[in-house]
Structure 1
Amino acid sequence: MTGRLPALLAALGRRLPSDRLIDLLHHLNEAEGPDSPLLDRWSANHPAAGLAVQLSTLRTAWRDEVPQLSGAALALSLATAAEAEKGMDSPAELVVSGPTSPAIPVRLTSGIAVDVIRSARASLLIASFAAYGIPEVVTELRAAAERNVRIDLFLEESTAAARAFGPLGEHVRIWHRTDGDDARTSLHAKVIAADRHTALLGSANLTGRGLSRNVEIGVILRDSRAVGRLVDHLRWLTGPDGLLRRA
């Protein structure tokens, strides 16, 4: 396989969470070619920002470069590309809240926040200046706690952000700035770090508006070295020389 198609398959495999990837592979296996209405239907059912354009570009390359390739063969190629991506550190990926351009393949903050939480198997480190109106996030954190994920929340005390996580009780550990901190400072970071492999960084607070309606920009990091350093720094803040105390 030559031309643009391999790179397009790799990008799509890197972007799609496992449930969407499995659904697309099913549709591709049933598709007779790039013009199959099954693929139109899949695209309509997954209205993520820029995803329709990304799939359309892939279908155009399929049509132009290897029109004889069956949908089943393309599905196998996509599955192979996605599996290969699992073992590689990926570049930063753009995340937005608010209006999106259909020409740019970006992820929405609300969806990627849930994906990052779901990807954690051992630990979650979450920092936010404000937090409220996030029942889906609280539900995902409860599910993470049930699979024995250690959850640490770094929250700004002056905004009463901890109230949003009250239903989780002792399933989470909440950290605030120490009483001796300069009153003019605040805990302003916005981070969701899963284990040491994935982190969402950006301007959005953990609020309903921040994750969906406000104009916010962020990135997903899947570079284990960078995420590891970030996690180490956040953990240091909770140590003897750090600035955070248990609530």
Structure 2
Amino acid sequence: MAGDESSGQDGRPAVAPADIPVARSGTLSHRLPGLLAALCDRLPEDRIAVLEHVFGTITGPDDPLLSRFIAAQPAAGLAHQLTEVTRAWRAEAPDMPGAGLSLALTTGRSIPRPRPTQVVVSGPMSASLTARLTSGVAVEVIRSADTSLLIASFAAHGARDVVTEIGRAVRRGVRVDLLLEESTQASAAFASLPDEVHVWHRMGASGVLHAKLVAADRHTALLGSANLTDRALSDNIELGVVLHDPHTVEPLVDHFRWMLAPENNVMRLV
């Protein structure tokens, strides 16, 4: 019928190009690309690279290897995301091999774009929130520093992975400033670090240092309720966010740097 967009010029049904996945409903695929883009937003590059390798070895959405990989994920939110990817893959492009998804992830990882604010939690992980565990994110933020680290915590105990990563940062020339609450003896947790680490305590007796912050250079900052303790980073029910926007992180870092200036009488170097 004239004007029917489902027909070609000769009256025969229009056929999509063979290389474009078509949903079983007859509309072009749209959900699967968005889900893959969300994975690129959520995961650091090394984790995306792992996914690229896994997808590259999978024949299709019903490959048992994919099911086993999803079941092995410790983060329920990530397992849920991968399950949704599998469902969209099966519905929209069931004949596409895993290498196609691998290539899509590689493409997404190679395109620089602003990363969104990322939610982090400690404690139980549900499938309703695509969050990551605080302990791993704290290490990742420290690892991303090239020139400076500014870390604040009310309490500190254990957290060996964090302490180890701070030590590695010092060895690669990163300046480290630790703002710690004196009344909790938090500085003892970092006694093994080199002398180049600067430890600061609050001056005066009005109030305490209660902030929790890990800021890498002026581009990334982890804010949340978790202290740098083993339980807070993994077992307690804690909540935080990672900021990747320099326009937000820079004034935050400047505020804490202002407190370290001797003329402002807020913090003292131990």
> What TM-score, normalized to structure 1?
0.93
SS in 1 for 2:252: helix
Larger radius of gyration: 2
Q: After alignment, is 38-47 or 201-210 more displaced?
A: 38-47
Match of 1:70 in 2: 97
Matched, 1:101 2:126: yes
Match of 1:191 in 2: 213
Query: In 1, Cα distance between the equivalents of 2:64 and 2:172?
Result: 39
Q: In structure 2, list runs of 5 or more residues that go unmatched.
A: 1-20, 22-28
The one-character-per-residue Cα deviations of 1:168-196 (angstroms, maximum 9, x if unpaired) are: 03131111112xx2x23111100001111
Match of 1:175 in 2: 200
SS in 1 for 2:60: coil
Query: In 2, Cα distance between the equivalents of 1:115 and 1:147?
Result: 15
Query: In 1, Cα distance between the equivalents of 2:146 and 2:66?
Result: 33
- Give me the CA root mean square deviation: 1.5
The one-character-per-residue Cα deviations of 1:36-70 (angstroms, maximum 9, x if unpaired) are: 22222332443124110011101111111122222
Query: In 1, Cα distance between the equivalents of 2:182 and 2:76?
Result: 34
Match of 2:250 in 1: 228
Q: Tell me if structure 2 keeps the 8 A contact 1:49–1:108.
A: no
Correspondent of 1:25 among 28, 52, 56? 52
Q: Tell me if structure 1 keeps the 8 A contact 2:75–2:125.
A: no
Query: In 2, Cα distance between the equivalents of 1:29 and 1:195?
Result: 35
Answer 1 or 2: higher relative contact order, Cα 8 Å, separation at least 6. Answer: 1
Number of positions where the alignment pairs a residue of Structure 1 with one of Structure 2: 242
SS in 2 for 1:169: coil
Q: Tell me if structure 2 keeps the 8 A contact 1:33–1:69.
A: yes
Give the C-alpha shift of residue 7 in structure 1: 1.7
Query: In 2, Cα distance between the equivalents of 1:157 and 1:16?
Result: 36
Query: In 2, Cα distance between the equivalents of 1:152 and 1:237?
Result: 12
Q: Which amino acid in the other structure matches residue 243 of structure 1?
A: V
Q: Tell me if structure 1 keeps the 8 A contact 2:45–2:109.
A: no
Q: Which amino acid in the other structure matches residue 36 of structure 1?
A: D
Match of 1:241 in 2: 264
Runs of 4+ in 1 over 4 A off after TM superposition: none
The one-character-per-residue Cα deviations of 1:123-148 (angstroms, maximum 9, x if unpaired) are: 11100000011111111111111111
SS in 1 for 2:47: helix
Give the C-alpha shift of residue 242 in structure 1: 5.2
Q: Tell me if structure 2 keeps the 8 A contact 1:152–1:172.
A: yes
Matched, 1:7 2:34: yes
Query: In 2, Cα distance between the equivalents of 1:169 and 1:49?
Result: 38
Query: In 1, Cα distance between the equivalents of 2:199 and 2:173?
Result: 17
Identical columns (%)? 54
Q: Which amino acid in the other structure matches residue 259 of structure 2?
A: L
Distance 1:187 1:36, change over 3 A: same
Query: In 2, Cα distance between the equivalents of 1:13 and 1:50?
Result: 14
The one-character-per-residue Cα deviations of 1:82-109 (angstroms, maximum 9, x if unpaired) are: 222xx32222111111122123211111
Q: After alignment, is 220-229 or 60-69 more displaced?
A: 60-69
Match of 1:155 in 2: 180
Q: Tell me if structure 2 keeps the 8 A contact 1:204–1:217.
A: yes
Query: In 1, Cα distance between the equivalents of 2:170 and 2:38?
Result: 32
Query: In 1, Cα distance between the equivalents of 2:268 and 2:182?
Result: 11
Give the C-alpha shift of residue 165 in structure 1: 0.3
SS in 2 for 1:6: helix
Correspondent of 1:127 among 152, 156, 174? 152
Q: In structure 1, list runs of 5 or more residues that go unmatched.
A: none
Match of 2:6 in 1: none
Matched, 1:209 2:231: yes
Distance 1:40 1:177, change over 3 A: same
Q: Which amino acid in the other structure matches residue 212 of structure 2?
A: K
Q: Tell me if structure 1 keeps the 8 A contact 2:41–2:116.
A: no
